[in-house]
Chains A and B, each alone.
Chain A
Amino acid sequence: MSDPVVLHRLQFAFTIIYHYLFPVLTMGLAFLIVVMKTLGLRKGGERWNDAARFWIRIFGINFAVGVVTGIPMEFQFGTNWARFSRYSGNVIGHTLGMEGLFAFFLESSFLSLLVWGEKRLSRRGHFLAAIALFLGSWLSGYFITATNAFMQHPVGYAIGPDGMLRLADFWAFLFNGWAIAQYAHNMVSTVVTASFVVAALGAFYLLQGRHREQAALFLRLGVICGLASSVLVAFPTGDRQAKLVALHQPAALAAMEGRFQSGPDAELNIIGQPDVRGRRLDNAIAIPGALSFLAYGHFYSDVRGLDQFPEKDWPDQIALLYYAFHIMAGLGTILAGIMLVAGLLAWTGRLEGNRPMLWILMLSFPFPYIAVIAGWMTAELGRQPWLVYGLLRTADGTSATVHAGTALFTLIGFCGLYLVLGVLYLFLIAREIDHGPAHPSHVAEEVASHE
């Protein structure tokens, strides 16, 4: 713990993972709220408006925590990663600046109108506020993914006479192929997450025997969107992302798969524990040829193992990277399976009465969150030991003047603050779930009961 690099990495990892738990629901839910509001615009769609009203309240609380935990992220580029900011600010400053100008202003201006403005606005006006939040949050997602994509796969840059990066081709940088693939994969995963959350709450109310009409709507919307998105997250988006990793970060692919030796006809490891010192995978269960096929489209393709790369260019957390990737892929498969079964039951009209399936749906909502975090850990650990792939090493990007003790202080501070924040968030969400969507009469009752 005396190495400042470790502490800077831990602090960034902790604050970004914690932060992302909120926007992942914000972005997915923004999409589902637009769907609900669209259905609500139709004749006789009032029950969809009621559903939207309930989820907008959840959205509001979730968004607030996302905003406050997001503020430190942009600043930590400068506070903890100052040499990286100086080195690449001429390039990534563009997407970070555009995120503020085009996305954050849009979101922040219309949030309170979406959450509190239904009475103040016309039906159409409130629908437009939902669209604004959807656009804002999905644009924000693009700009930050494009920033990350530059770190994963730098394009459109040149190295200036001062040794710092500069922008050579704005459009190549903004529409980096890696950014587009990663964005598609990521945004679909936010819809998976929100769909599971919506379906889980529907299942919970049905199991409780409360709010039956609304619960059935939640369940139907969650399962339809969840089925579509959990298939899309694997194919084509996840597949595309994996092929880019194989092409541009072969050492990361080898580490993700625990592949120490090179060779053709590469197997896909389903289970196993990497023994980095022994250069092997223990207790492996593998599908022959599958990795060659997934990475290059042919069963016999040669897939390079870690032996092909100098050890100083290996990702420094091979075991964690391997597990992160396998947890993401494994959970993704299981979640798609759950939605497939639920979808078939819903198709035949038997889902609402199938208690075992309702139990499964209710209990499964944490797992898309875990899969999403594991996915980002795969991307970020796979990028190591580079901060900007092939250009700047992580150890060379930290702030020159910040000591380990100072970094530890702020890391501890974040742990405490975010613990409190998490407890309060869960408390408020639990209250909303307890009140349920039978809105707004419960509020009047509650006020009356207090007075």
Chain B
Amino acid sequence: MNEIWYAIAAFMLTAYVVLDGYDFGAGALHLFVARTDTQRREVLAAIGPFWDGNEVWLLAAGGALFVGFPRVLASGLSGFYFAIFLVLWSLILRGISLEFRSHVHDTVWRQSWDFFFSLASVLLPVFLGAALGNLLRGVPLNAEGWFELDLFTDFSAREPVGILDWYTVLVGVFALVALTAHGGTFLVWKTGGAVQARSRTAALRLYGVAAALWPIVTIATMRVNAGFLPSLSSRPLAWLPAAAALAGLVVLFRSLRGRGDFAAFLGSCTFLAGLSITAAVCVFPVMLRATGDPSLSLTARNAGGDPAGLKTALGWFVVGLPLVVAYFVLVLRIHRGKAVAAADGEGY
């Protein structure tokens, strides 16, 4: 049962990265690929109907961790206290920028919200990447299962570790590049004209950088977490998502050049999902890795919720998930086709 909930939590976080990832990426590109107000409204029209639903995956993943692994949730959120609030405040800033921007027909008003929207969309992937970096590197868990981390120490990735060091910042930059490229492929799919052309160039270049960073990040991960890659050889199950990530990368490069715009976006989704699932399989069962004594790590086996409760939760989860998928399919269908910049008072 604990394994099932580990898989559910990994699935929900992956869905969050892939889905909110594309609207973060679109936001990060916003100022660069869309220059006029009409172009910017085209970008906003593309992500407007989806961003809120995408963000709910984060809350839902939090809910899954709450019920599945309350010790991990409690320890992780309180230990990363400072970083969590930076993420929350950025999410608030980003949400209101999107929702408030087009209510007022004024250049200064709109330009300021465009700026804050982009700023928050750049910061969030860095924070989320750094969070992943922290999970891979480990945190100083004590015997009671709590930890406390400074925002930064000496950036060495050695004890005493901080939330930000060379390794976690590297993962953060990788996340920023990859998610921005991902957002680019989404805009290529959902927009036309100048925005689409600039997004295509941006996606190709940024994915080039991401492809170059991928092996570097993998090697760096080996340095801070020696068990990470060897686990791959003993876990054939991890080869599948890793191979899928590689295939996704190939597909997206081919399709971006060959005008298979939807295929490129799907390739991009596959790449990110593949990376996320590979990481989840490689670290299993560790959820919060201890930098000191490995027996202090919180794992899917020692930090799980009580088995009877998890069974009950699985009951409501399998009822709810098809509903969620149905909503997403329905909304995608209603908003199919290219996004069109809305007139004032009629959309984002």
Q: Chain B, 73-104, contact with A by CB distance < 8 Å: what is the 0/1 string?
A: 11111110110110011011001100110011
Are B96 and A68 within 8 A (Cβ)? yes
Are A93 and B81 within 8 A (Cβ)? no
- Docked Cα-Cα span, A114 to B348, in Å, equals 13
Q: Chain B, 301-344, contact with A by CB distance < 8 Å: what is the 0/1 string?
A: 00001101100110011001101100110110011000000111
Are A89 and B85 within 8 A (Cβ)? no
- Docked Cα-Cα span, A88 to B331, in Å, equals 36
B310 closest partner in A (C-beta): A90
Q: Which residues of B lie under 8 Å from residue A170 when comparing CB positions?
A: 312
Are B66 and A86 within 8 A (Cβ)? no
Are B70 and A104 within 8 A (Cβ)? no
With A401-B148, A421-B92, A450-B105 in contact, is A74–B62 under 8 Å at CB? yes
Q: Chain A, 69-107, contact with B by CB distance < 8 Å: what is the 0/1 string?
A: 101101101111011011011111110111111101110
B235 to chain A, nearest CB (A): 28
Q: Chain B, 99-114, contact with A by CB distance < 8 Å: what is the 0/1 string?
A: 1100111000000000
The residue in A69, A78, A409, A424 that gathers the most chain B C-beta atoms within 10 A of its C-beta is A78
- Docked Cα-Cα span, A143 to B210, in Å, equals 41
Are B334 and A119 within 8 A (Cβ)? no
Binds A, one of B47-55, B182-190, B211-219: B47-55
Binds B, one of A211-219, A314-322, A439-447: A439-447
Q: Which residues of B lie under 8 Å from residue A102 when comparing CB positions?
A: 316, 320, 323
A170 to chain B, nearest CB (A): 5
With A108-B55, A417-B89 in contact, is A121–B334 under 8 Å at CB? yes
For the complex, is A6 an interface residue (Cβ under 8 Å from B)? no
For the complex, is A109 an interface residue (Cβ under 8 Å from B)? yes
For the complex, is B289 an interface residue (Cβ under 8 Å from A)? no
Are B78 and A399 within 8 A (Cβ)? yes
Question: What number of A residues sit within 8 Å (CB to CB) of B?
Answer: 71
Are A82 and B324 within 8 A (Cβ)? no
For the complex, is A344 an interface residue (Cβ under 8 Å from B)? no
For the complex, is A400 an interface residue (Cβ under 8 Å from B)? yes
For the complex, is A64 an interface residue (Cβ under 8 Å from B)? yes
- Docked Cα-Cα span, A83 to B70, in Å, equals 10
Q: Which residues of B lie under 8 Å from residue A421 when comparing CB positions?
A: 92, 96
For the complex, is B347 an interface residue (Cβ under 8 Å from A)? yes
For the complex, is B200 an interface residue (Cβ under 8 Å from A)? no
In the complex, which of the residues B60, B75, B85 contacts A410, with contact meaning CB atoms closer than 8 Å?
A: B85
Q: Which residues of A lie under 8 Å from residue B76 when comparing CB positions?
A: 78
For the complex, is B71 an interface residue (Cβ under 8 Å from A)? yes
Are B306 and A101 within 8 A (Cβ)? no
For the complex, is B67 an interface residue (Cβ under 8 Å from A)? yes
- Docked Cα-Cα span, A409 to B344, in Å, equals 39
Interface size class of B (residues with CB under 8 A): 35 or more
Q: Which residues of B lie under 8 Å from residue A406 when comparing CB positions?
A: 81-82
Are A101 and B91 within 8 A (Cβ)? no
In the complex, which of the residues B52, B74, B308, B348 contacts A89, with contact meaning CB atoms closer than 8 Å?
A: B74
- Docked Cα-Cα span, A409 to B151, in Å, equals 14
Q: Which residues of A lie under 8 Å from residue B342 when comparing CB positions?
A: 116
For the complex, is B345 an interface residue (Cβ under 8 Å from A)? yes
For the complex, is A16 an interface residue (Cβ under 8 Å from B)? no
> Which residues in window 37-79 of A have CB below 8 A to B?
60-61, 64-65, 67-69, 71-72, 74-75, 77-79
With A61-B103, A86-B71, A447-B344 in contact, is A105–B56 under 8 Å at CB? yes
For the complex, is B155 an interface residue (Cβ under 8 Å from A)? no
For the complex, is A277 an interface residue (Cβ under 8 Å from B)? no
B183 to chain A, nearest CB (A): 18
B85 closest partner in A (C-beta): A410
For the complex, is B147 an interface residue (Cβ under 8 Å from A)? yes
In the complex, which of the residues B309, B330, B348 contacts A94, with contact meaning CB atoms closer than 8 Å?
A: B309
Are B66 and A89 within 8 A (Cβ)? yes
Q: Which residues of A lie under 8 Å from residue B82 when comparing CB positions?
A: 406, 409-410
Q: Which residues of B lie under 8 Å from residue A111 when comparing CB positions?
A: 52
B45 closest partner in A (C-beta): A116
Are A94 and B53 within 8 A (Cβ)? no
Are B321 and A101 within 8 A (Cβ)? yes
For the complex, is A167 an interface residue (Cβ under 8 Å from B)? yes
Q: Chain B, 34-71, contact with A by CB distance < 8 Å: what is the 0/1 string?
A: 00000000000000110011011001101110111011
Are B59 and A104 within 8 A (Cβ)? yes
Are A109 and B331 within 8 A (Cβ)? yes
- Docked Cα-Cα span, A247 to B63, in Å, equals 32
Are B92 and A68 within 8 A (Cβ)? yes
In the complex, which of the residues A82, A104, A109, A443 contacts B146, with contact meaning CB atoms closer than 8 Å?
A: A82
Are B89 and A413 within 8 A (Cβ)? yes
Q: Chain B, 207-230, contact with A by CB distance < 8 Å: what is the 0/1 string?
A: 000000000000000000000000
In the complex, which of the residues B49, B63, B74, B96 contacts A424, with contact meaning CB atoms closer than 8 Å?
A: B96
With A100-B60, A447-B344 in contact, is A166–B306 under 8 Å at CB? yes
For the complex, is A402 an interface residue (Cβ under 8 Å from B)? yes
B337 to chain A, nearest CB (A): 11
With A74-B63, A97-B64, A101-B321 in contact, is A108–B53 under 8 Å at CB? yes
Are B60 and A101 within 8 A (Cβ)? yes
Are B73 and A67 within 8 A (Cβ)? no
Are B306 and A167 within 8 A (Cβ)? yes
Are B91 and A68 within 8 A (Cβ)? yes
Q: Which residues of B lie under 8 Å from residue A278 when comparing CB positions?
A: none
- Docked Cα-Cα span, A61 to B346, in Å, equals 14
Are A446 and B62 within 8 A (Cβ)? no
In the complex, which of the residues B56, B306, B312 contacts A108, with contact meaning CB atoms closer than 8 Å?
A: B56
For the complex, is A353 an interface residue (Cβ under 8 Å from B)? no
- Docked Cα-Cα span, A400 to B148, in Å, equals 9
With A68-B92, A105-B324, A116-B48 in contact, is A93–B104 under 8 Å at CB? no
B317 closest partner in A (C-beta): A101
Are A79 and B78 within 8 A (Cβ)? yes
- Docked Cα-Cα span, A88 to B92, in Å, equals 28
Q: Which residues of A lie under 8 Å from residue B312 when comparing CB positions?
A: 94, 167, 170
In the complex, which of the residues A109, A119, A431 contacts B103, with contact meaning CB atoms closer than 8 Å?
A: A431
Are A116 and B346 within 8 A (Cβ)? yes
- Docked Cα-Cα span, A117 to B104, in Å, equals 19
Are A105 and B323 within 8 A (Cβ)? yes
With A85-B73, A121-B334 in contact, is A101–B324 under 8 Å at CB? yes
The residue in B67, B91, B346 that gathers the most chain A C-beta atoms within 10 A of its C-beta is B67
With A80-B78, A450-B105 in contact, is A97–B91 under 8 Å at CB? no
A75-B84, A164-B306, A431-B104 known; 19 new pairs, CB 8 Å cut-off, are A61-B103, A71-B55, A71-B88, A71-B95, A77-B66, A80-B78, A89-B73, A90-B67, A93-B63, A93-B309, A94-B67, A97-B313, A102-B316, A102-B323, A117-B334, A164-B70, A166-B309, A401-B79, A431-B103
Residues of chain A at the chain B interface (Cβ within 8 Å): 60-61, 64-65, 67-69, 71-72, 74-75, 77-80, 82-83, 85-86, 88-94, 96-102, 104-106, 108-113, 116-117, 119-121, 160, 164, 166-167, 170, 399-402, 406, 409-410, 413, 417, 421, 424, 428, 431, 439-440, 443, 446-447, 450
9 contacts between A and B (CB under 8 A): A68-B92, A79-B78, A79-B85, A93-B66, A94-B312, A97-B66, A98-B316, A104-B59, A111-B52
Closest 7 pairs between A and B when the two form their complex, measured CB to CB: A89-B70, A78-B77, A93-B67, A97-B63, A101-B320, A82-B78, A443-B345
